[in-house]
């Protein structure tokens, strides 16, 4: 028995994937995704119906702000019951931030939301965008055992499908621009798409026809990357920002930082004032373990929260999401200490 057609909504937000050369001038101009079937007739062979929303204005993803994440979440919520899956076309530069944020904001998601983009414009002969787009559509429409195969927020790029909140853009040059250092791919793509089903997240229930989303993201969340020789002034300046709520502290190795008196004092005082300090490592792979060295233990004693193997993108967007829920201090810390969408491994 052939499966019924899936319906997919493509949301084009901007970025390189949506560019093609003007036939006359050769200049890069935006590609009109509403003409997607004319441009890629092979799409008709996929068992999917496609509709496209193009955001206005489309933006280079370097200009993305939390307001854009809320708008995107609202579009997915408002169209949730009409489609089986969603493909978000996004600039690669900040795609991991947006995709991580959406993984938290789409609270009871039970359908695929696949982010993709490209390094070379879709209208250029050697583009990586065509394959990224077509495979993302196929993944968003895929079903197994009566349910979507990948009912979480994911990111597809160059033959690999990742959990979105585990990804980072690692290369400004290579076509396999994204990595997921601490979590294996949800699917590997060759001649066939091999889904690694045992590591894909599934929702508690598939019964909800409505999607609940978070529309409030907290301000006052900052990132501090430490380095040998960092000045006391810069740390003092960051921790004296008015209305500061949380800092993602990018530390060395397994979560280590200088133990000098001024460093520990600034962090300790901030925590005492109610600022949340979340410790993640600058290393691509591996996890924070604050008990391993004295240099990590001092942070733990100061009240710093362990971020385990979270990416910067996941850490900062999770803090905005969790603090935006306006829960009590204890509940907030509880939400930070547990993975909410598979964003870290304890």
Binding site for ligand ASP (CB under 6 A): 14-16, 60-62, 91-93, 117, 119
Of all residues in the shown chain, the one whose CB is closest to ligand ASP is 91
The SS3 assignment for 310 reads coil
DSSP structural state of residue 24: T
For residue 256, give both structure tokens: 């280590």
- Does the active-site annotation cover 16? yes
Smallest distance, ligand ASP to C-beta of residue 61, A: 3
DSSP letters of 282-305? SSSSS---TTSSHHHHHHHHTTPE
Closer by beta carbon to ligand ASP, 126 or else 243: 126
Rounded to a whole number of angstroms, the minimum distance from the CB of residue 282 to ligand ASP is: 23
Output 75 or 175, the one with its CB closest to ligand ASP: 175
Cβ–Cβ < 8 Å for 150, 114 = yes
Residues contacting 330, CB < 8 A, separation 6+: none
The string of DSSP letters for 145-187 reads TTEES--SEEEEETTEEEEGGG-EE--SS-SS-EE-TTS--SE
User: Could you tell me which of 151, 112, 153, 118 has the C-alpha nearest to residue 132?
Assistant: 118
The active-site residue out of 13, 16, 94, 98 is 16
Compute the least distance from the CB of residue 191 to ligand ASP, in Å. 27
Q: Which is nearer to ligand ASP, 91 or 307 (CB)?
A: 91
User: Which of residues 14 and 141 has its CB atom nearest to ligand ASP in the complex?
Assistant: 14
Residue where the block lists tokens 């962090």? 267
**Min dist. Cβ of residue 18 to ligand ASP (A):** 8
Question: Annotated catalytic sites, by residue?
Answer: 16
């Amino acid at each position: 028995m052939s499966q019924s057609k899936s319906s997919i909504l493509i949301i084009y937000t901007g970025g390189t994937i949506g560019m093609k050369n003007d036939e006359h001038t050769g200049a890069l101009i935006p590609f009109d995704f509403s003409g997607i079937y004319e441009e890629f007739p092979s799409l008709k062979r996929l068992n999917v119906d496609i509709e496209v929303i193009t955001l206005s204005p489309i933006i280079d993803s370097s200009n993305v702000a939390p307001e854009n994440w809320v708008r995107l979440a609202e579009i997915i919520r408002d169209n949730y019951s009409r489609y089986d899956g969603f493909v978000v076309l996004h600039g690669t530069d900040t795609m991991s931030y947006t995709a991580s944020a959406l993984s938290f904001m789409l609270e009871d998601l039970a359908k695929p939301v696949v982010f993709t983009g490209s390094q070379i414009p879709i209208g250029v002969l050697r583009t990586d965008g065509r394959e990224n787009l077509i495979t993302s559509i196929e993944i968003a429409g895929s079903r197994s055992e009566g349910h979507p195969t990948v009912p979480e927020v994911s990111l597809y790029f160059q033959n690999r499908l990742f959990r979105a909140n585990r990804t980072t853009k690692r290369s400004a040059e290579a076509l396999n621009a994204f990595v997921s250092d601490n979590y294996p791919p949800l699917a590997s793509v060759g001649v066939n798409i091999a889904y690694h089903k045992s590591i894909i997240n599934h929702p508690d229930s598939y019964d909800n026809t409505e999607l609940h989303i978070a529309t409030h993201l907290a301000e006052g969340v900052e990132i501090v990357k430490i380095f040998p020789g960092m000045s006391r002034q810069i740390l003092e300046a960051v921790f004296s920002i008015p209305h500061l709520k949380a800092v993602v502290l990018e530390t060395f190795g397994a979560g280590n930082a200088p133990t000098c008196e001024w460093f520990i004092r600034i962090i300790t005082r901030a925590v005492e004032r109610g600022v949340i300090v979340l410790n993640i490592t600058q290393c691509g792979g591996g996890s924070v373990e604050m008990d391993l060295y004295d240099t990590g233990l001092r942070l733990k004693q100061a009240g710093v929260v362990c971020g385990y193997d979270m990416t910067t993108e996941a850490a900062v967007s999770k803090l905005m999401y969790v603090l935006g829920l306006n829960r009590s201090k204890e509940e907030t810390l509880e939400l930070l200490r547990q993975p909410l969408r598979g964003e870290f491994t304890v």
